Structure 1
Amino acid sequence: MQTSKFTRIAVIVLVLLFLVLSVISCSTHTHTHTHTTSGKKIPPGQAKKMNGDKSAKAYAPGQQKKR
């Protein structure tokens, strides 16, 4: 049975695409590991980074308004 050139190229492209996607999905698997400290507070700058804020003022104990 004779296959056309287009069909052969399409099959090769699909196989390569499958292989590339398989490798990418295996290599991009990441683990997120968080360390819990025993009662220690994290520094205000670190809390700011974790929450994506621009200012650490809200996390600094000396900068909190008394109610």
Structure 2
Amino acid sequence: MKKIYFVLTICSMMFLMSCYTQRTAGNSGKVPPGQAKKRTGSKSAKPYAPGQQKKN
């Protein structure tokens, strides 16, 4: 009976260790200015560019 528990434990550990998450490159969650422009329907991407945003 102990051998069955041991084998089940080893199999479940191997299954859990084989899982991985997929990562996106670089700026996770940030959208390029051109893509933000397309989503909002704006005519210019300038307001979405990081160097063009005004600080309050």
TM-score (norm 2): 0.46
User: 1 or 2 for the larger relative contact order (CA 8 Å, sep ≥6)?
Assistant: 2
